[in-house]
Structure 1
Amino acid sequence: MNRKKNWERLRQETFDVCIIGAGASGAGAALDAALRGYKVALIDRSDFSSETSSRSTKLIHGGVRYLEQAIKKLDLAQLRQVKHGLAERRTVVRNAPYLAHPLALLTPVFSWFEGLYMTIGLTLYDFIAGRDAFPGGKWLNQKEALALSPKLTRKMHSAVLYYDGQLNDARYALALVQSADEAGAAVVNYAALTEFNPENGTIKAATIENQLTGETITLRANVFLNCTGPYSDAIRLLANPSLDRRIRPSKGVHIVLPRETLNSDCAILIPKTSDGRVVFAIPFGDKVFVGTTDTDFSDLAHEPVLEPAEVDYLLETVRPYLDQTPNKADVQSGFGGIRPLIVSSRTDTKTLLRDHEVELDETSGLLSLLGGKWTTYRLMAQDAIDRVSEQLGKSERSKTETHYLVGGENYRYEDWQLLQKAYNLPPDTCQHLMRTYGNRAEHIAKLIQSQANLAEKITDEQPFIKAEVVYQVREEMAVTLRDVLARRWRLELSDWSLTAQVAPQVADLMATELGWSATYRNSQLQSYQNLLASFAKQAGLVADGAAISAV
């Protein structure tokens, strides 16, 4: 992806559709529209998937909690969500198998009745899913459960095993963006829509500001599609100030613990919390993510961050399910995201519908894709581009259900061994490259042939090598330290201190590739390390914050 070239396309061309927001739904919509043959512009005011879409629980699921609510309340809307989610999860895995895979989840129970109740529910869950690549669930006795997850509490009666999916959310969204780019879309990050320019009351152009240079241009498109998730109301009101707000933002946070907390490839579903939610403890790389919370959030001008009370809540929630209880000193980082829940008559964010809606504002002509979740991003995008087609007077159908994303076609994880043999890289690095870039892993390895030092690891604690930073700048439109460390790698999410330690090396590599001056490089580095320190301080992890500040 070439940012400079695509920016010039935004300036010069007239598009069928301009999609605002490059998270899961926006990137998915861009790919869908491009595959239908439309001229597509995809813009985001920050990096691709820099907000909600990179801060999920990393699950692809139908929604066990939705199924329970659907049965208890005879709620067909909740049941429809489960059905949509289970149908789409197989597609998410199929189209990018290097970024998504089935995940085993265990639910510890403390009586035979509770085990029977959960087993019946999850049997129904499997029945709705039908025959797919996901294994079926089963009820395990305590011995069988401990064999799979040895750190579970010995106080449990038994455990119920079932399967959903896991994905690397930020990289999956990036693969959607790259696929859209290769299908002909003009994709640009750090491009903010600041003003709509209506013609006879209908939007046909908008002012776009380059967030890196301050330059502004006029972008022309026949249809504008708003895919900005929790920020949708701001775009809707920019187009038509008389509209009612439709989004009720909900904050969800995760804490990050060492892999040894579970010492298992199985996740844990905690079905009972003090506020009536479910919480997950999920292995992801060499860490365990525990979350999420669900609270109202109104301060959309600021990034949602982990707070001390949330750390305490999640530790207290997971504690009864583990034999050895983690404490605050074990928390290595955390992250927060904002769910874009659609306003309804329901009273709290735990019960608001998370299904999606495509809204047309008849006055301005703006289309807005509202609500939804990661699992059903493709279906959401398809529905949105169907409405775009109506506005354009065209009838092309979606082709995304069986379209492999970049890196996904003919992917074989076992090919890491061929990579190691050809380039003499460490086994963990080769495995990481295959899981991160799919069948394009060799593109990174080839950079080493012309510059041998790019084979060096960034840190002995991780499989990352210097060639990846070069590749991410040249081919994945990474332009800031956080683009690399938070999204193209997921290091910021998992370890604030280690992220701060490796940031200088990443800054040096990016400075060479992007032509940064020494002054700019130093200011970017200092600003990012200050941000990491502030995360630790705001979470009440003062010692970690002090350590980061000292790097």
Structure 2
Amino acid sequence: MNRPKNVTQLSTETFDICIIGGGASGAGCALDAALRGYKVALIDRKDFASETSSRSTKLIHGGVRYLEQAFMKLDLGQLKQVRHGLEERRIVLKNAPHLAHPLALLTPVFSWFEGLYYGIGLKIYDWFANDSTLPKGKWLTKKEVLKRMPTLRKETLHSAVLYYDGQLDDARYCLALAQSASEKGVVVANYVEVTGFVKNEDSQLSSALVTDTLSDQSFAIQSRIFINCTGTFADTIRHMANPKLPVRMRPSKGVHVVLPFETLNSTDAMLIPKTSDGRVVFAIPFEGKLLVGTTDTEYKNPELEPILIEEEVDFLLETLRPYVKKLPERQDVQAGFGGLRPLLAADPTKSTKRLTRDHEVEHDDVSNLVSLLGGKWTTYRLMAKDTLDKVDELFGENKACLTADYPLAGSIGYEPEAWKLIKEQTALSEETCRQINGRYGSRYPEIITLITQNPDLAQRLVPAYPYLWAEVIYAVQHEMAVSPRDILARRLRLEITDWQATLQCLPVVCDLMEKELNWSSETREKMEKTYAEQLQVYCKSAGLL
């Protein structure tokens, strides 16, 4: 993933397909298109997975909430969404086992009737999945529950229903898709923004006018067809191509707070099935912390970054209150993040909580733009398949989709126990070795090589976390990271788990990047100052300052 070389290719070559948007759906489309033999470009105006695709609940699931709504309201659309999610869950887990794994979830209940109700629902969920790769759910006694999750409130707990879904590192999974696409010949570049289109005599798109926002260089990308995979920003690209198209997107904001792992003190997750706003909330172990979310509120201006605010912190903490012995205080919150769901505005009268997460492939006959609208992380591959099937149809082709059985970057030869080999070869802690194996999979030797060449790179960025100097160098050299936030928010996940630790290690990260990217002292100072100010805004908005 050589960015300067790729930008040159974008400006000088002609492509079959140019994909706009480097999130899960765009990277998924790029890999699918490359495997079908097309010449492909993939661009994003920011970094890969910098928006919705790095700010999910980190679950791979069919959606137990959608299943309940499907039966309660006889909604076949919700049922279809659950079925698609459960079918794709198995594939997401299989294709990148270093980045995705099964996760046990407990649903605490306060009465025999509640246990029966949720037990039957989750049995149906298991049956609907028809997936032998995950353990089956069961109804646990109070004693069994407290053994697995000792911090739950004993006085009111009756029992809990256990079931299984999947968990992933969303940003790194998206990066693995982009890497895999790149290795199949896709010309990939982040920080390339579309500013307009050029049309031929038939008013159809022939090239995209873009700006490399790092160099401020503008040029045109020529392509036979353009695919719009920009999520909540899809209407912007659609209206650039054809101003007469109706508005389709209705963004919804969801936020998470990050608490100490000891809040639940369990490797299991918890599903809270009832909240005051009529949805479910998850409490999920991730990167040694506990993510709690998500909310669902309509969001009018997607150009403004959705950030955590005090009222949302209080709502999520209050949602935990009936379940835990000791309710965390606001000062226990260590970080948080907000994201936008790319919901389709099929019915403007529905609240965003009632809109499905299904997707739609739209082809505009006037401009020839193809737009992938809606959807969710779990079904990214199916979304990409449907999109490329449409492109095949427009090209008069009929090519097979090969992504269901295509192992992603880092998964070929991956061994869960390879952390032991890393420990034998280095003086690193077990925690660090496990983390390296989980982040890079079978490509971990490249990190070890950097440390062997320069032992200083074995140092931790911050003492409390197992992130190494070497990983900063690797992210710049091999993962197209060009800013400290690319590294600390997405290549490593420190920004979403600990804001103060992120601020603490920011100078070191900037020093390492300055040398690797030949920054001027002014650029280095600006990078550190801008990001530090951003983090301070997040802390203040969440009521943590």
TM range (shorter): over 0.9
Match of 2:205 among 203, 206, 218: 203
Quick one: distance in 2 between partners of 1:107 and 1:190? 42
Sequence identity percentage: 56
Quick one: distance in 2 between partners of 1:450 and 1:422? 13
When structure 1 is superposed on structure 2, of 164-173 and 300-309 the one drifting more is 300-309
For 1:135, what is the secondary structure of its paired residue?
coil
When structure 1 is superposed on structure 2, of 425-434 and 137-146 the one drifting more is 425-434
Q: How far does residue 389 in structure 1 lie from its aligned partner after superposition?
A: 1.2
Residue 403 of structure 2 aligns with which residue? 400
Q: How far does residue 410 in structure 1 lie from its aligned partner after superposition?
A: 2.2
Q: How far does residue 411 in structure 1 lie from its aligned partner after superposition?
A: 1.1
For 1:160, what is the secondary structure of its paired residue?
strand
Unaligned runs of 5+ in 2: none
- Residue 92 of structure 1 aligns to which amino acid in structure 2? V
Asked if residue 532 in structure 1 is aligned to residue 535 in structure 2, the reply is yes
Match of 1:443 among 425, 438, 446: 446
Asked if residue 90 in structure 1 is aligned to residue 90 in structure 2, the reply is yes
Q: How far does residue 18 in structure 1 lie from its aligned partner after superposition?
A: 0.3
Q: How far does residue 423 in structure 1 lie from its aligned partner after superposition?
A: 2.8
Q: How far does residue 356 in structure 1 lie from its aligned partner after superposition?
A: 0.3
Quick one: distance in 1 between partners of 2:374 and 2:384? 12
Residue 475 of structure 2 aligns with which residue? 472
Quick one: distance in 1 between partners of 2:533 and 2:138? 47
For 1:17, what is the secondary structure of its paired residue?
strand
Residue 51 of structure 2 aligns with which residue? 51
Q: How far does residue 519 in structure 1 lie from its aligned partner after superposition?
A: 1.8
Residue 101 of structure 2 aligns with which residue? 101
Residue 115 of structure 1 aligns with which residue? 115
Taking the TM superposition and a 5 Å limit, the aligned residue runs for 1:173-188 are 173-188=174-189
Residue 11 of structure 1 aligns with which residue? 11
Residue 546 of structure 1 aligns with which residue? none
Quick one: distance in 2 between partners of 1:102 and 1:450? 36
| 1:223–1:391 CA contact under 8 A, matched in 2 | no
Query: Once the two structures are superposed, what CA deviation does each residue of 1:15-55 show, in whole Å capped at 9, x if it has no partner?
Result: 01000000000000000000111000000000000000000
For 2:352, what is the secondary structure of its paired residue?
coil
| 1:248–1:340 CA contact under 8 A, matched in 2 | yes
Q: How far does residue 313 in structure 1 lie from its aligned partner after superposition?
A: 0.6
For 1:247, what is the secondary structure of its paired residue?
coil
Q: How far does residue 131 in structure 1 lie from its aligned partner after superposition?
A: 3.1
Quick one: distance in 1 between partners of 2:439 and 2:341? 26
Quick one: distance in 2 between partners of 1:100 and 1:495? 22
Quick one: distance in 1 between partners of 2:76 and 2:413? 39
Residue 168 of structure 1 aligns with which residue? 169
For 1:492, what is the secondary structure of its paired residue?
coil
Match of 1:265 among 264, 267, 284: 267
Quick one: distance in 2 between partners of 1:507 and 1:162? 43
Residue 24 of structure 1 aligns with which residue? 24
Quick one: distance in 2 between partners of 1:166 and 1:333? 20
Asked if residue 79 in structure 1 is aligned to residue 82 in structure 2, the reply is no
Asked if residue 387 in structure 1 is aligned to residue 402 in structure 2, the reply is no
- Residue 118 of structure 1 aligns to which amino acid in structure 2? Y
Task: Point out 4+ residue stretches in structure 1 off by more than 4 angstroms.
Answer: none
Residue 547 of structure 1 aligns with which residue? none
| 1:151–1:261 CA contact under 8 A, matched in 2 | yes
Quick one: distance in 1 between partners of 2:330 and 2:322? 16
- Residue 104 of structure 2 aligns to which amino acid in structure 1? A
Quick one: distance in 2 between partners of 1:296 and 1:327? 27
Quick one: distance in 2 between partners of 1:262 and 1:214? 48
TM-score scaled by structure 2? 0.99
For 1:491, what is the secondary structure of its paired residue?
coil
For 1:264, what is the secondary structure of its paired residue?
coil
Match of 1:308 among 307, 310, 319: 310
Query: Once the two structures are superposed, what CA deviation does each residue of 1:92-127 show, in whole Å capped at 9, x if it has no partner?
Result: 010000000000000110110010000101001000
Residue 34 of structure 1 aligns with which residue? 34
The root-mean-square deviation of aligned C-alpha atoms, in Å, is 0.8
Residue 453 of structure 1 aligns with which residue? 456
Residue 346 of structure 2 aligns with which residue? 344
Q: How far does residue 347 in structure 1 lie from its aligned partner after superposition?
A: 1.2
Residue 494 of structure 2 aligns with which residue? 491
Q: How far does residue 318 in structure 1 lie from its aligned partner after superposition?
A: 1.1
Q: How far does residue 208 in structure 1 lie from its aligned partner after superposition?
A: 1.0
Q: How far does residue 517 in structure 1 lie from its aligned partner after superposition?
A: 1.3
Taking the TM superposition and a 5 Å limit, the aligned residue runs for 1:135-534 are 135-154=135-154, 155-200=156-201, 201-345=203-347, 346-534=349-537
| 1:3–1:188 CA contact under 8 A, matched in 2 | yes
Quick one: distance in 1 between partners of 2:458 and 2:313? 38
Unaligned runs of 5+ in 1: 543-551
- Residue 520 of structure 2 aligns to which amino acid in structure 1? S
Q: How far does residue 430 in structure 1 lie from its aligned partner after superposition?
A: 1.2
Q: How far does residue 426 in structure 1 lie from its aligned partner after superposition?
A: 2.2
| 1:256–1:333 CA contact under 8 A, matched in 2 | yes
| 2:90–2:131 CA contact under 8 A, matched in 1 | no
Quick one: distance in 1 between partners of 2:224 and 2:359? 23
When structure 1 is superposed on structure 2, of 343-352 and 270-279 the one drifting more is 343-352
Quick one: distance in 2 between partners of 1:36 and 1:199? 26
When structure 1 is superposed on structure 2, of 482-491 and 515-524 the one drifting more is 515-524
Quick one: distance in 2 between partners of 1:400 and 1:382? 8
Query: Once the two structures are superposed, what CA deviation does each residue of 1:222-247 show, in whole Å capped at 9, x if it has no partner?
Result: 01000000000011011111111001
For 1:248, what is the secondary structure of its paired residue?
coil
Quick one: distance in 1 between partners of 2:133 and 2:475? 32
When structure 1 is superposed on structure 2, of 377-386 and 392-401 the one drifting more is 392-401
Q: How far does residue 217 in structure 1 lie from its aligned partner after superposition?
A: 0.9
- Residue 469 of structure 1 aligns to which amino acid in structure 2? V
Query: Once the two structures are superposed, what CA deviation does each residue of 1:184-219 show, in whole Å capped at 9, x if it has no partner?
Result: 000000000101111120001011100101001110
Query: Once the two structures are superposed, what CA deviation does each residue of 1:313-336 show, in whole Å capped at 9, x if it has no partner?
Result: 111111111111111111111100
TM-score scaled by structure 1? 0.97
Query: Once the two structures are superposed, what CA deviation does each residue of 1:395-416 show, in whole Å capped at 9, x if it has no partner?
Result: 1111000000000122111011
Quick one: distance in 1 between partners of 2:382 and 2:358? 11
Quick one: distance in 2 between partners of 1:64 and 1:301? 31
Query: Once the two structures are superposed, what CA deviation does each residue of 1:432-470 show, in whole Å capped at 9, x if it has no partner?
Result: 110000000111110122212111111221111111111
| 1:222–1:392 CA contact under 8 A, matched in 2 | no
For 2:354, what is the secondary structure of its paired residue?
coil
Query: Once the two structures are superposed, what CA deviation does each residue of 1:74-100 show, in whole Å capped at 9, x if it has no partner?
Result: 111111111110110010010000000
| 1:193–1:209 CA contact under 8 A, matched in 2 | yes
| 1:16–1:392 CA contact under 8 A, matched in 2 | no
Quick one: distance in 1 between partners of 2:296 and 2:508? 37
Quick one: distance in 1 between partners of 2:240 and 2:153? 52
Quick one: distance in 2 between partners of 1:508 and 1:145? 47
| 1:416–1:431 CA contact under 8 A, matched in 2 | yes
Quick one: distance in 1 between partners of 2:234 and 2:437? 35
Query: Once the two structures are superposed, what CA deviation does each residue of 1:381-401 show, in whole Å capped at 9, x if it has no partner?
Result: 110111111122221111000
Quick one: distance in 1 between partners of 2:131 and 2:537? 47
Q: How many residues align?
A: 542
- Residue 259 of structure 2 aligns to which amino acid in structure 1? L
